[in-house]
Structure 1
Amino acid sequence: MSSNSLKLLLCTVLCLLVRSNSQTVHKRFEYKYSFKPPYLAQKDGSVPFWEYGGNAIASGESVRLAPSLRSQKGAIWTRTPISFDWWEVDIMFKVTGRGRIGADGLAFWYTSARGEYNGDVFGSSDRWNGLGVIFDSFDNDNKHNNPYVMAVLNDGTKNFDHKSDGATQLLSGCLRDFRNKPFPTRARIEYYLNTLTVHFHNGLTNNEADYELCFRAENVALPRGGYFGLSAATGGLADDHDVIHLLTSSLHSTQQTGGQQISTADQQKLSQEYQEYQKKLEQQKEEYRKEHPDEVRDKEGEFDDWFESDGQRELRQIFQGLGQIQDVMRDLHKKVDEVIGKQSNSLSLLSAVYSQAQGVQPAQPGQPPVQMPALPISRQDWDAMTTNQQIVINTIAELKGFIIEVSRKSDAVLASAGGAAGAGGLSPQVVGELRDGISQLKQSVGGVSQRLSAQAPAAAPVCPSVSCVSGTTLLVAAAGQLLLMFLYSVYKERKEAQAKKFF
């Protein structure tokens, strides 16, 4: 009985999950709460269904909320509140300035009442009731965490903390740079089933699908029937804050009936409004063509796509160079991985050779296996051996230089000995030079011997099982041989000089 009830419970849960997953979200574009180019602003400068004020300027291509001047504030708000509960807003904007640091930023608002056009919080009113998604570009708290994207909720009783950049008041946020990008940056703000989701487009590419998740917050309660708004402000530093478009879509599930069905009268009314708007737009186009016949002849710049400006060419070359650098770095990473793999194999082979040199025999049947050392030659030992080899090479080069110097001095001594043959022997000056050269040779050989003896313990672990002559003994023997050869040559030259004297 218990197993049947458990199966029934599992089936019920699966049915609920399938039913919840089958609920698709339908979007409907809301033109009364949107604006976009071209002809964003009408001939009289107004934006349909929106009101703007402060220092905001509306044109046919964008709405400049705050220009790049000090202490500028501006905002734009919808004229009517929204009539749907869930929504998605797509904002395309550009924040550009000549300074390395910008200020202050812009904000998207959803509030129960429209805010001011020159308020204290990024151009809007403080103590708002609703949501504010703020794109803050100035670092007030000097923590080097700006530009920053954050969501702040307020119930109408709190003042925004500018000194800490709202760090103690934000709902969530992410560190994203949106200033001086080659393409417009975008933000997609979605509020559905009390879940707030913000996606961000960094503006480095022109691909509209390059969104990344900024943050997601659940259990977010917003007031119904609020207003949409955008605002921006500048301070001692200034940027141009341009909003290119704001597109609003209402979200509806398949189970929602309210607001989903439209009556025939409403459909006719909406179609009539749309046709009137299209007629008005065509009429304005005709008037513009009559007033500007020269621009009409250009056919609205049909050849603009065939050419590129210097700035576009420079940006294209920069992007191509960055792509090539990324390819080269990817190849370098692959090669480094291959080198590390080969080095690991070499170290394993050296460890096996070392184990065989130590006399480690394979385990006989019935005996416990002998544990092989994991890595007898460590990376430090390998580096020490390489350093010792380099020291030996340098020492040999120094010895070669000493030998060449001794040979040169011996030639000079022989030449002087031949010139002094008539005098009956070597002069005291030549003997003194010979004595100094021999003493310098002894000092050099002694210094090299001390250096090699100091480095000998570091190189000892490399070959502990091989008994060989030390470097010091070898160098002393070589120095003795060179000294004997030098003395013998001097003695021979002296004998020959005496023999010539007798003749």
Structure 2
Amino acid sequence: MRVEDWFVVVFLSVISLAQKIGGLTNLDAHRRFEYKLSFKGPHLIQRDGSIPFWQHSGSAIASDESIRITPSLRSKKGQVWSQERNTAENWEIEVAFRVQGRGRIGADGLAIWYTANQGKEGPVFGSNDLWDGIGIFFDSFDNDNRHNNPYILAIVNKGDKVYDHKTDGIQQQIGGCMRDFRNKPFPVHVKVEYFKKSLSVFFHNGMTESAENQYELCFRTENVELPKEGHFGVTAATGGLADDHDVSTFITHSLRPNEDQTGGNQEVPEDDRKKFEKEFEEYYEKLQKAKDEYTKEHPEAGGNKFDYEFEGQEARELKQIFDAQESIHHILRDLNSKVDAIVGRQERTLSQLSTLSGGGTVANSGNAGSVVSKYDVDEILRSQRSVADSVQLIHSRVNELHKNQGATGGNKAQYDSTGHFNEIKNHINTLQNDVRGISNAKGPELKCPEVVTPSCVSSTMFLFIAIFQMIVFIGYSVYRSSKDAQAKKFY
């Protein structure tokens, strides 16, 4: 066998394996939505608090968005079961739920059931033991201390097995996988397919809001015997530890193989096909004849009076072009105002820089805002580059609009927008020239103003003034003491 043949065989094998792993078996089946076996929020409950076609009991609390099977309280059990029986031999369910708790470890867990009869409150995740059907358990507490929880497993029971709590049912399972479903940002999604006695369980970890095309296979088991008719249900239980167990969606589809469909893929016999075509042609001719007669009898009604309410393809494209032109005009006006502001600011900056470089000083008005800093100059340059980029973007958009208008054609008599484009191009060229002139204009280099050395008093003058003050002070003191002595002699 050649290498190319080996490559083809391996490639086809990989594709086949991927299809099996991806759960594509239901592509060969007709899916029918079973609304009496489903529920989904919002508007989940009725005014009396009941759920259509479902019944809940125990600690279960139904709200508008979801059903809280058990609250985060110790030793609680809750359940919700379908009132209608499932009669489809093959089926598919999609369940969205959340398990949330404050602790690092949760308890006990949640279970999805398909049993011959509705379950009753019991020790197996809130339902009774010795069930007849299948239970898919989401066990969040590690009873056997093997550090393999949270764990998902399925157990088929025909009413003769007692659930082994000590080993978490590991020895009784038909399949399982270790997946973490607690405290996720979005609801966890589980899809269960039972098709031609093959059971497949798919899991979505709740890290994204949508689970479409993001399921991963948990396990698949062949030759699974389940009751031909039964009820769907969801139960949960808490123990010494407690979690909130909320179910927001339970969607059920019945599956029927395509070969069982009647009339779906059957070809119409040739005689019947010709008969139908002939009848259609006769009916179409009669319709056209009646339409022509009505038009002759009512000439004022010629044409559709509602045609003016609809616009053609060319008119729609031209409208889009002129809307774009209008937006460009607004942008150009804004750019003109911004460029004028930048030019004025740069002129003031250049005048201040020239004053500083000429040896003058900038008048100090009590604040530092009158001094032009390097940051202001950099900000102006950044604004210039931003304006240049905006103008270039507008230029490219105008070119694209011009190409689109040239592609529409056929309606130049109604709209002649060549003048508008030329005007826009002139504005853009003018703006580009202004921006280039602003960018190329380089002011003189910044220089610090010269510090004027203040005139200080010499040391000789300082000593002379100090001695003079001392002499005056001493003379005044002597004069004051002599006056006081004369006054004492007088009295």
Tell me the TM-score normalized by structure 2.
0.48
